[in-house]
Structure 1
Amino acid sequence: MSHDGVGPRAALRSVALLTAGLLAVPALAGCGSGDDPAGEPLAGADIAHADRARIAEGGTLRWAVDTVPDTLNTFQSDADATTTRIAQAVLPSMFRMDTRGRPVRNPDYLESAEVVDTEPKQVVLYKLNQQAVWSDGREIGAADFAAQWRALSGKDTAYWTARNAGYDRIGKIERGSSDLEVKVTFSRPYADWKSLFTPLYPKEVMGTPDAFNDGARKKLKVTAGPFTLKKVDTGEEEVTLTRSARWWGAPAKLSKIVLRAVPRDKRISALSAGTLDLAEIDPAAARRVTAAALPRGESSPLAGPGADRSAADALRSWAVANGSDEEAADEESSARRKLAKKAAKYARQQKALGGFEVRRSFEPAFTQLALNGADGPLADERVRRAVARALDRRAIAEAVLKPLGLPAESVGSHLALSGQAGYGDSSGALGEQDAKEAQALLADAGWVPGGPVRKEKKDDGEKAAGSEGEKGGDSGDGDESEGGDDGTYIVGEDDDANDDGKAPRDSGTGTGHLRQGGAPGAYAPRGTAAPARAASAPVAKDGKALTLRFVLPSGPGSDTLRTVAGRISAMLERIGIRTDVTKVDDASYFKDHIASGKYDLALYSWPATAYPATDARPVYAKPVAAADGSLNVEQNYTRVGTDQVDQLFDQAVTTLDDSERGALIRKADSRIWAAAGSIPLYQRPQLTAARKNLANAGAFGFRTPVYEDMGFLKKSAQGPTGTPGAKSAGASAGD
């Protein structure tokens, strides 16, 4: 799985939307643009904007991605964030996102698109740009729209499609009054019609099941964008896009874009080696790039290998290395040489990283705490609400975002983000942080502080909740900005630990192991004053302590998630809830744990979208029993949903009036908050290392990248300090 994506690979629109999104990776669409006063985005796009006249002709942009995609068809289940990125550069998009996550008409393909009739049927008329043609010279037209509709309508199961939302509402597609007009008639009203035909594939791909299923997995013979696909090289782990000679719009400035698969933990090395020009990075890497860009003397000299050694440590090391104990001297000398080698490598890398800068924004995605309501204690809404009311969401957001220099605001909606039309803080439906209210909710559900806990024999090899290295009550006071995953991953654990009533260990608070009757005040005579820690004594019910399984990823780049989990565990401990934190392998976290429901608490991200009535419904829909008795959860991995939320989504998707639809969406969001199945925490930070002379690329935020405008600045357009890293930059800028 990719740290770039948000949510599972087949999530929502074009795989993780993502992009993410990417992780993977998003204003409400309708007849008009309807500007909702939702405020400005927390952070705008940071792409080093430059006019095209300042950008040199030619050059190759080497751009890090997480994977070489398994398919180039965004409508297949194994499409990923790189699939989306390629499609954006080489295929038509009728609408793309602006800096506030609103769909705007793409003039390179559309002269206009509007609802021209609503009675008796909704009719949308597309007027195409008369210059728009496929790379083989054929005009883009109604035949392509019709082929895509038939492939994605869901009527022909021979097409292996991952989604058909919206296409299943189309009744017919026909040519308008000319070849440049496409008339789409809907059998049922569809408010999110702007989401359709982005991307648009040629009829050669969509025309037959064989072509759809296999023809566009590794190649696209026909394209229609500023770039065309040259090759997918699985051996070199890269995809090459070249400037299209058939493109009718503003010519691409770059000659090539090479999308190179580089693991997140290897990107600093690749950047410093001069093999990348642009890469999303984690907070630790961002600190290195930022420090490297500072003038000499301003960056801390105590960085890199051995930086934590004191003068006394260094003197002691020298003494041992030059001492009379030959064995100890040899060992210490070897360690000193290795340290010196690492320090020299670090210094070389820092010098090379001086040619880069960090561009910061927010992804169109948010990280949430998911509460599995299928069974166990969290099946009780009162317990879920108690967990939610215990959280200081603002403090969590500050822990993650403040060190990155980004606005530390908590997210108030499941269905939109700040700056998007339709955004509103609906968290009041759940209530603010209130430990006393949380404890009252627990008591109402039968979970009381100091209740007797049955003592049961523990297997020798079994790890108690909150054991060393997996402390449920860890306050997370370490470096909150270390590591880089802020929730792209969904993680979980096939683990039944502490579901048996065993008392948890103390989480570093000094109370030690709990024994039967040993909870503070458990058997105190009536009227006895409560001990100081009684307010946070473990709660229990029917002889079982309330301990929740908290699953986290174990891979590199997940330190931020673990910090957040530690803070959440500490907050829950204050109301008497213990957590059993288990770290699992990244490769199996989703399928084996979250998707299968084997967790109580988990952290993962979802994309925000311009089309919540369509895209968010499967994420929050009430699970229903399938014919075979299993539970169909769609993408609702918390298993929490209500009929009312479903009905509000169904109303919204058929409501063409922007303001009415927005009101329905906000009402649905309030109901989602009240159900307390998922608690939004913070918008995911987006940190991108970019060569300083690279323009119109970086942290895009909501905005769809404009690939033809990307490029390297002319020397005359660069700043007074020249171009840092000019040698490496020149290798990219020349073909």
Structure 2
Amino acid sequence: MSPDRARLRSAVFLATGVLALPALAACSSQDEAGSPTAGQDVAPAARDLVADGGTMNWAVDAMPETLNSFQSDADAGTNRIAGAVLPSMFRLDAQGRAQQNTDFLESAKVVESEPKQVVLYKLNQQAVWSDGREIGADDFAAQQRALSGKDSAYWTARNAGYDRIEKVERGANNLEVRVTFNKPYADWRSLFSPLYPKEVMGTPDTFNDGARRKLKVSAGPFAVQDVDNKADEVTLARNPRWWGRPAKLSKVVLREVPREQRAAALAEGKVDLAEIDAPEARRITNAARDQGGQGPLSHGPEAQLTPAKALRSWAIANGSDEEAADTEQQAREKTHKAIKKYATEQTGLRGYTVRKSLEPAYTQLALNGTEGPLADDRVRRAVARALDRDELAKAVLTPLGLPAEPVGSHLALAGQQAYADNSGALGDQDTTEARALLADAGWTPGGPLKEPKGKTAGSEADAKKAKAESGSDSGSDSESDSGDDGAYTVGEDDQKPGDSGTSVLAPAPAAAYQEAALTRQAASLTAHREADKEKKKDPGGHAKQHAEKRAEKHSEKRAEKHSEKQAAKGGAPGAYAPKGTAAPAAATPAAGGPMAKDGKPLTLRFVLPSGEGSESLRTVADRISRMLEKIGIRTETAKVSDDSYFKDHIASGQYDLALYSWPASAFPATDARPIFAKPVPAADGSLNVEQNYTRVGTDHIDQLFDQAMGELDEDESRALVRKADARIWAEAGSIPLYQRPQLMAARTNLANAGAFGFQSPNFEDMGFLKPGAKPSGKPAAK
């Protein structure tokens, strides 16, 4: 397996999901971290209310390719299994902070820092592997050797931290483990979680192949009983040698259920717990609301069949045109089947509830700084300053009933120790400042654009051609009603075979924009004059800010009036979009018009996944495009398949703008460094970007990460991480937007399971409530 493929597979979870990285936490004071934006929603219940026995079926996106978490093709399913069947020295709490796991550890601490760092682990004397052998120093030593990176025969995906260990040795006995580091390592708590037995880590063969499809030896409340590739499921059974709180469930079955099949699988009772998207969440909510009701459903296929449509369909089906009647009759039968199927599924969904929280991951706008306009940091900052992140967060989270707070850090989320809102290093949304940054970079509004030879910008011939291709007049109803603010996207129903789904922001005629530019410039001059007067009266500058906002609103109103006058004269404020797109709305031109330099417009390629689970990303992208249009930046949106989205576009750098998610790690010095490391030339002349797919980085940021990683004073290490985050904001290669929603469908009687948020699942406490019992609102007693 090539190193490049290993890095890619270890990074990618799903384009519309998150990029998988280990996410643990460090321990220290709260400081600026605050509390999590949203708490857990797991129907907590005391253990005496949970029945003994039963099987819980848990839906996963895909069968895990390997059971070895340290291999490149490990995924979320791999890590979920590891959490149930293997030791972890530290586990995450509800705030995403690592807490000592007393099932395996009596203590773990740094006992020496000079001349070298030494960590002493004292293991629980009851902790044994499923074959009866005690967990001890030899297991720690085998894992360190395998993951040190010194032996290339081990196909490891990550070595961070293990490569800093000089030696692992026994202490007073095999239950004491002394780990000596050759370099100070602040994130030592991230190591040995999970811990594999020496039977897996002992040789390259057992590491590479032995733990891919089975785990003969494990240590947790459950053990791997069976991996059934034909049925696409992994069965975990109670571990009879488990010394901790006995598992309430007899079995946990991880079953592959693709996202598009989740609703049907839930309705048929095939799964008890499943991550779902917003449409499925709405269906479950509607099912509970409709229970006991009579008459047609107000949603689904039946709701789409209005009385007028039903009457028209009946008339055609019973009309004299036999061919049309046959076609319509088939369509009616198909519709009736869909209505019946939907109603049946809704009945089945009444046995579930939606549990919701926020994932320990955030969605970002990535700006590719390799080449083109975004190679200029001023343009990147202009894009960032044009964004209203509050609006974007609300668009995704408010409809789901979740708190909509923009994320203020690249390296942690609210509640984690490393969190602090460093977005001030870039600045808040400010359209005027964004335009000023573009102007400083040489982009001017309403500048002349180079046309192909033999053509003239704004010529009558071009106008006629655009009109003919759009099939619509400038004053048509379709244009005035589209309400799309200049962003025109080919709809799913309008696309032809082979259509890439590209949308553009169409420019207004140059003359109209040039006049608008003069209007804006005059308003801007007035704003500065008013601000200077106010500054004399108010040295603090508060009046200046108000004056600038008033001037900006005033200039926008003047531009709107100018646009209305142009329309009254027969001119259109926006050109037509390419053939096959919706007619444009009569939108107000951007201040000063589309930006241009050297005869070329400022146009950015926005690449998005096209899958069914990506609707929210496309909604956010549409809003971003409209925000950028206000500062004169056009976007061309390309929708690509989920399979190729990351591999062929993000990882390869074939994009200008993109949306994808990163997990929040409470060990950011280790886990986040490769995401923001400065790309460096490789030996073959290519650019080694690690996981920094924006290709934006600096030596200073790398140095801050390195210093934080080697700083054993936790407060100082955290301060260095926050400084690194501030520098990342200032470079504007990645703009965090909002924390991802976490929606889980769960049986109404399933306890201690659901939307876990930050916290690691407690597999031993999950189960089904006893008859008549209700969730207590308190977690299971430990």
**TM-score when scaled to structure 1?**
0.87
Cα distance in 2, alignment partners of residues 453 and 594 from structure 1: 30
Match of 2:544 in 1: none
The answer (yes or no) to whether the contact 2:110–2:120 under 8 Å persists in 1 is: yes
| Post-superposition offset of 1:420 | 1.2
How far apart, CA to CA, are the structure 1 residues paired with 2:231 and 2:611?
24
Matched, 1:657 2:653: no
Q: Check 1:574–1:18 CA distance in 2 against 1; reply closer, same or farther (3 A cut).
A: closer
Distance 1:697 1:326 in 2: 56
| Equivalent position SS for 2:772 | helix
Measured after TM superposition, the shift of residue 259 of structure 1 is 0.5
8 A Cα contact 2:445 2:517, kept in partner: no
Larger mean Cα displacement after TM superposition, 287-296 or 66-75: 287-296
Q: Distance in 2 between matches of 1:97 and 1:20?
A: 21
* 1:291-330 paired onto structure 2 within 5 Å: 291-294=286-289, 295-297=291-293, 301-330=297-326
What is the DSSP-based 3-state SS (H/G/I as helix, E as strand, rest coil) of the residue aligned with 1:183?
strand
> 1:521 corresponds to which residue?
515
Alpha-carbon distance change, 256 to 101 in structure 1, aligned in 2, over 3 angstroms: same
Does the CA-based 8 Å contact 2:59-2:271 persist in structure 1? yes
Q: Contact 1:451–1:522 at 8 Å: present in 2 too?
A: no
Unaligned runs of 5+ in 1: 1-6, 479-494, 499-503, 721-735
Work out whether residues 504 and 636 of structure 2, in 8 Å CA contact, stay in contact via their aligned partners in 1: no
Equivalences for 1:37-436 in 2 at 5 Å?
A: 37-294=32-289, 295-297=291-293, 301-436=297-432
Letter in 1 for 2:123: L
CA–CA separation in structure 2 for the residues paired with 1:138 and 1:505: 64
What secondary structure does 1:599 align onto? coil
Distance 2:368 2:768 in 1: 48
Q: Which residue number corresponds to residue 620 of structure 1?
A: 676
1:315 to 1:595, Cα distance in 2 relative to 1, 3 A: same
Pick from 703, 716, 722 the counterpart of residue 647 of structure 1. Answer: 703
Structure richer in helix, relative to its length: 2
Q: Quick one: distance in 2 between partners of 1:209 and 1:42?
A: 43
Quick one: distance in 2 between partners of 1:297 and 1:673? 52
User: Could you tell me which residue of structure 2 aligns to residue 634 of structure 1?
Assistant: 690
Q: Deviations over 1:493-525 (max 9, x none)?
A: xx9x99xxxxx9654xxx65x57x674439989
User: Aligned equivalents of 2:728 and 2:295: distance in 1?
Assistant: 46
Q: Describe the shift of the 1:397–1:604 C-alpha distance in structure 2 as closer, same or farther (beyond 3 A).
A: same
Q: Cα RMSD over matched residues?
A: 3.1
Preserved CA contact (<8 Å) 2:422 2:725: yes
CA 1:537–1:159: 2 relative to 1, 3 Å: same
2:487 aligned partner: 474
- Report the Cα offset of residue 394 of structure 1: 0.5
Aligned to 1:501: none
Does structure 2 retain, via aligned residues, the 8 Å contact 1:430–1:673? yes
Partner of 2:617: 561
- Structure-to-structure mapping, 1:26-45, within 5 angstroms: 26=23, 29=26, 33-45=28-40
CA distance in 1, matches of 2:33, 2:704: 21
Tell me which residue corresponds to 1:487.
none
- 1:561/1:199 CA distance change after superposition, 3 Å: same
Matched, 1:697 2:753: yes
In the other structure, the counterpart of 1:546 is 602
Measure how far apart 1:297 and its partner are.
Answer: 4.1
Conservation of the 8 A alpha-carbon contact between 2:408 and 2:736: yes
Query: What SS class does the counterpart of residue 612 from structure 2 fall into?
Result: coil
Give the deviation of 1:660 after TM superposition. Answer: 1.1
Taking a change above 3 Å as real, the CA distance of residues 536 and 289 of structure 1, as seen in their structure-2 partners, is: farther
Q: Percent same amino acid among aligned pairs?
A: 66
Contact 2:605 2:636 in 1 (8 A): yes
Give the equivalent residue in structure 2 for 1:438. Answer: 434
Counterpart residue identity of residue 649, structure 1: F
Q: Equivalent of 1:577, from 619, 623, 633? A: 633
Over residues 394-453 of structure 1, what are the superposed CA-to-partner deviations in whole Å (9 max), with x where a residue is unaligned?
000000000000001110000110111121110000000011100000011011110111
Aligned twin of 1:10: 10
1:527 Cα deviation (Å)?
Answer: 8.2
1:475–1:567 CA contact under 8 A, matched in 2: no
Compare 341-350 and 384-393 and name the one that shifted more. Answer: 341-350
The aligned amino acid for 1:84 is N
Q: Distance in 1 between matches of 2:188 and 2:594?
A: 52
Q: Measure, in 1, the Cα distance between the counterparts of 2:179 and 2:210.
A: 26
**Amino acid in structure 2 at the alignment position of 1:648:** L
Q: Which amino acid aligns with 1:185?
A: T
Q: What is the alpha-carbon distance in structure 2 between the residues aligned to residue 601 and residue 132 of structure 1? A: 50
Q: Deviations along 1:615-644, whole A, 9 cap, x unmatched?
A: 000000111111121111000000000111
> Which residue of the partner structure matches residue 727 of structure 1?
none
SS in 1 for 2:764: helix
* Rounded Cα–Cα distance in structure 1 between residues aligned with 2:196 and 2:325: 68
Segments of structure 2 that go 5 or more residues without pairing to the other structure are: 1-6, 456-461, 472-481, 492-499, 524-557, 564-588, 777-782
Instruction: Give yes or no for contact 1:18–1:25 (8 Å, CA) kept in 2.
Output: no
Change (3 A) 1:522 1:687: closer
1:280 corresponds to which letter in structure 2? E
State the Cα distance separating 1:653 from its structure 2 match: 0.7
Counterpart of 1:341, as a letter, is K
Question: Residue by residue, what CA displacement relative to the aligned partner does 1:315-369 show, whole Å, maximum 9, x if unpaired?
Answer: 2223333334443333333322221111111111111100000000111000000
1:279 aligned counterpart, secondary structure: strand
Distance of aligned partners of 1:422 and 1:282 in 2 relative to their CA distance in 1, 3 Å threshold: same
Q: Structure 2 counterpart of 1:114, which letter?
A: K
Q: Answer yes or no: is the 8 Å Cα contact 2:595–2:632 preserved in 1.
A: yes
Q: Distance in 2 between matches of 1:258 and 1:643?
A: 47
Evaluate the alpha carbon distance shift between residue 546 and residue 257 of structure 1 in structure 2; reply closer, same or farther with a 3 A threshold.
Answer: same
SS across alignment from 2:302: coil
Contact 2:447-2:596 at 8 Å conserved across structures: yes
Shift of 1:25: 6.8
Q: In structure 1, how many angstroms separate the alpha carbons of the residues matched to 2:454 and 2:261?
A: 42
Radius of gyration: which is bigger?
A: 2
Find the partner of 2:653 among 586, 597, 618. 597
Query: Against the structure 1 CA distance between its residues 422 and 394, is the aligned structure 2 distance closer, same or farther, given a 3 Å change threshold?
Result: same
Residue 483 of structure 1: aligned partner: none
- Structure 1 residue 40 displacement after superposition: 1.5
What per-residue deviation string (whole Å, max 9, x for no partner) do you get for residues 254-298 of structure 1? 111110111101000000011111100000000001111224349
> For the residues of structure 1 that align with 2:522 and 2:96, how far apart are their CA atoms?
59
Per-residue deviation, residues 513-542 of structure 1 (Å, max 9, x unmatched)? x57x67443998998997553515110000
1:299–1:675 Cα change, 3 Å: farther
1:174/1:635 Cα in 2 relative to 1: closer, same or farther (>3 Å)?
Answer: same
User: What per-residue deviation string (whole Å, max 9, x for no partner) do you get for residues 187-233 of structure 1?
Assistant: 11100000000000000111111111111111111000111111211
CA–CA separation in structure 2 for the residues paired with 1:692 and 1:527:
63
Task: List structure 1 runs of 4+ shifted beyond 6 angstroms.
Answer: 17-22, 457-460, 466-469, 522-530
Per the TM alignment, residue 663 of structure 1 is displaced from its structure 2 partner at its CA by 1.1
Aligned residues: 678
SS in 2 for 1:365: strand
Structure 2 length-normalised TM: 0.82
* CA contact 1:27–1:421 (8 Å) conserved in 2: no
- The letter for the 2-side match of 1:203 is K
Once residues 71 and 548 of structure 1 are traced to their aligned partners in structure 2, the CA distance between those partners, rounded to angstroms, is: 39
Secondary structure of the structure 1 residue equivalent to 2:637: strand
